[in-house]
């Protein structure tokens, strides 16, 4: 039960971080009908350097929180540690 909650929390925090990252990128998309932003460009967001930085920092903070709360993440079956193959003795 605790593993299922941990996996759900991991997924939610991953999705939240991904959404914030995409939104941070969308602030940089050019928009010719917009007013110039703080840097003089015409983009979707009028506060481009600040809003982009805030969204990217929030996405990074979400990833840090995800890793702190849930660990490195769910591992696939093929990624799990396998026993080492037997070593052949070539000195014989």
* pLDDT tens-place string over residues 25-55: 999 999 998 888 888 889 988 888 899 999 9
Q: What is the pLDDT of residue 18?
A: 96
In terms of residues, how long is the chain?
92
pLDDT at 92 over 60: no
Are 51 and 38 in contact by the 8 Å Cβ rule? The answer is no
Q: Bigger pLDDT: 91 or 66?
A: 66
Q: What is the pLDDT of residue 22?
A: 96
Angle at 35 between CA 43 and CA 41, to 5 degrees: 45
Q: Residue 39: which of 30, 60, 13 has the closest Cα?
A: 30
Q: What is the pLDDT of residue 73?
A: 61
State the Rg of the chain over Cα.
22
Are 47 and 35 in contact by the 8 Å Cβ rule? The answer is no
């Amino acid at each position: 039960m605790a593993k299922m909650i941990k996996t759900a929390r991991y997924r939610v925090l991953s999705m939240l971080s991904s959404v914030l990252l995409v939104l941070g990128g969308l602030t940089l998309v050019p928009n010719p009908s917009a007013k110039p932003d703080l840097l003089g460009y015409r983009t979707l967001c009028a506060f481009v350097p600040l809003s982009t930085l805030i969204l990217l920092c929030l996405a990074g903070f979400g990833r840090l929180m995800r890793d702190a709360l849930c660990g490195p993440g769910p591992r696939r079956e093929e990624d799990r540690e396998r026993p080492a193959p037997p070593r052949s003795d070539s000195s014989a």
